[in-house]
Amino acid sequence: ERRGGPVVDVKELVGEDLKDLKNNIRNLLGSGHPMLDTVSKYYFQADGKHIRPLIILLIAQATSQAPKKVHVSVKDSYEEIDTPISELSDFFIPTMGHHSKSNKDGINATEAVAVKDDASSSSPTEGAINPIYAPRVHEADQTFILPSQRRLGEIVEMIHTASLLHDDVIDVADKRRNLLSANESFGNKMAVLGGDFLLARASIALARLRNHEVTELISTVIANLVEGEFMQLRNGQVENGRNRGGKMTTFEYYMEKTYMKTASLISKSCRSSAVLGGASDEVCDIAYTYGKNIGLAFQLVDDMLDFTVSSDEFGKPVGADLKLGLATAPVLFAWEEYPELGKLIKRNFDQDGDVETAWSMVLKSQGLAQTRMLAQSHCQKAIAAISRLPDSQAKTALIQLTEKVLDRKK
C-alpha cells in the first residue's frame, strides 16, 4: 500500500498510448531534407522519460469523469484533414478539408467530446466520430483518453525536445540522454534549426486541434520557455540578495525562472488536457495547480541531482550549473548558512577555484536537504489539488507520481 491506495501500474493505464507516442511523433516529423530529418528526430531515438506526455495522459483520464463545462456546444461535424503533417512543404500545399479519404496521420478536427453538466452520464463514445480516433476506455473505472489529448502529449514532447536542442547549444552541453548532444554531433547551426523545425511541426499539429484556448495556452508556454531561459542568462542580477529592479529576492527570481523554464510547460499542458476533455473551469484549475506544483518540484529535484548523481546515471553533464555560473536552490540555501558564498554567486563562480569552493560548501550545508523539502512541499500542494477529483486509478497514479519525482535519480 502506498499513499492513495495500492500501487497503480502506470504501464497498464497509459502504456499503450505512450508506446504510440514515439511513432506518432515520427509521423509528425519527417522532412524531404535528409539531414534536417535526422537532426529533428535525433533526440527521439533515445529513451526519454516522457514524463510530460505521461502526466497529460493521466490528467486526461483522471478528469474524464469529473464535471464538464455546461453549455458548450458539441460539434456534430468535423473538418477532415487528411494530409500527413510530415508531407507538408512549400512545394506541396494540400487543400485542407476537401479530401474524402480518411488518413490516420491527419487529425480529426473536432475530437469532439460530448459535453454534459453531469459527470456521471458522460460517455466516452459520444461525439467521437471517426473510429480511428476512438477514445481508449480504461475498463476498470471507465475513465478514458481522447485522441486529441494523446496528440497534445505528442505536441508537448516535441516542444520540450525543441527546447532541449536549443538549450544544449546555449549550455554548450556535450551529452543528452546518454547520447552525444545534437550540437556536438551536427554543430550549433543544425541543432538550432532542428529545434525550430520541431517547433514548427508542433505548431501545425496544435493548429489542427482547432481549439483556440489550447492554442493560446501552448503558445504561451513557448514564450515562457524563452523567458525562463532569458532570466537564467541574466542570473548575474544577484546584487545584495536582490535583483536590480529591487523588487524580488534572489530566491523569488529563481522560483519565477523555474516556473518559466519548467513548470509553465507542465501546468499549462495539464490545463490544456482538461480543456480538451471539456472539463469545468474548476477541474481545469485543479489540473493546472497539479501541473504547476509537480513541475516546480521536478525542476528543484533536477537542480539537486546536478550535485548528487554521476553523469552516467543522469545521462547529461553534472555539476553543470555552477560551471555555467548558475546559482540554483541548493546554492541559494547554502548561502544563508555561509554568507561568504554571496560574493562567489555575484561573480558567477568565474574565478579559479570558485566552482570547487561553492561545490563543497553546498555539500556540507543543509542546502540539498532544504531543496528536497521545498520540492516535497510542492508535491503536497499537487496532491491537495488532485485529491479534489473523483477517485480513479489515474488519480492515484498522479498522486504516486509525486513520490517518483522526489525520489528520481535521473
80/167 with CB nearer ligand FPP: 167
Shortest reach from residue 222's CB to ligand FPP, in Å: 5
Establish if 141 lies at the interface with Mg ion (CB under 5 A).
no
Establish if 154 lies at the interface with Mg ion (CB under 5 A).
no
Shortest reach from residue 228's CB to ligand FPP, in Å: 6
- CA separation for the pair 355, 362 (Å, rounded): 11
Establish if 170 lies at the interface with ligand FPP (CB under 6 A).
yes
CB-based burial of residue 91 (10 Å sphere; 0-12 exposed, 13-18 middle, 19+ buried)? exposed
Establish if 184 lies at the interface with ligand FPP (CB under 6 A).
no
- CA separation for the pair 76, 32 (Å, rounded): 36
Which residues ranging from 192 to 211 are in contact with ligand FPP (CB under 6 A)?
195, 199
- CA separation for the pair 211, 218 (Å, rounded): 11
387-393: Cβ within 8 A, 24+ apart = 388/286, 389/62, 389/63, 389/66, 389/283, 389/286, 390/65, 390/66, 390/119, 391/141, 392/61, 392/62, 392/64, 392/65, 392/141, 392/143, 393/8, 393/13, 393/61, 393/138, 393/140, 393/141, 393/143
Establish if 270 lies at the interface with ligand FPP (CB under 6 A).
no
Establish if 154 lies at the interface with ligand FPP (CB under 6 A).
no
3-class state of residue 144 by DSSP: strand
**Cell matching residue 395:** 488519480
Establish if 166 lies at the interface with ligand FPP (CB under 6 A).
yes
Contact 166, 158 (CB under 8 A): no
151/166 with CB nearer ligand FPP: 166
The region of 71-79, 156-164, 178-186, 269-277 touching ligand FPP under the rule CB under 6 A is 156-164
The number of residues that bind ligand FPP (CB under 6 A) is 18
The region of 164-172, 277-285, 360-368, 397-405 touching ligand FPP under the rule CB under 6 A is 164-172
Return the closest-CA partner of residue 260 out of 206, 286, 306, 223: 223
Shortest reach from residue 227's CB to ligand FPP, in Å: 9
- CA separation for the pair 93, 101 (Å, rounded): 17
Q: For residue 143, list its beta bridge partners.
A: 138
Q: Which one of 13, 28, 36, 159 is in contact with ligand FPP (CB under 6 A)?
A: 159
- CA separation for the pair 108, 50 (Å, rounded): 24
Please give the backbone phi and psi of residue 2, each rounded to the nearest 5 degrees, phi first: -115, 180
Shortest reach from residue 262's CB to ligand FPP, in Å: 5
290/314 with CB nearer ligand FPP: 314
Q: Which one of 17, 111, 154, 167 is in contact with Mg ion (CB under 5 A)?
A: 167
Shortest reach from residue 140's CB to ligand FPP, in Å: 35
Q: What is the 3-state secondary structure (H, E, C) of 149-175?
A: HHHHHHHHHHHHHHHHHHHHHHCCCCE
The region of 1-9, 169-177, 201-209, 340-348 touching Mg ion under the rule CB under 5 A is 169-177
318/389 with CB nearer ligand FPP: 318
Return the closest-CA partner of residue 372 out of 337, 402, 400: 402
Q: Which does 258 bind (CB under 5 to 8 A by kind): Mg ion, ligand FPP, none?
A: none
Q: Which does 25 bind (CB under 5 to 8 A by kind): Mg ion, ligand FPP, none?
A: none
Interface residues with ligand FPP (CB under 6 A)? 159, 162-163, 166-167, 170-171, 173, 195, 199, 222, 225-226, 229, 261-262, 316, 320
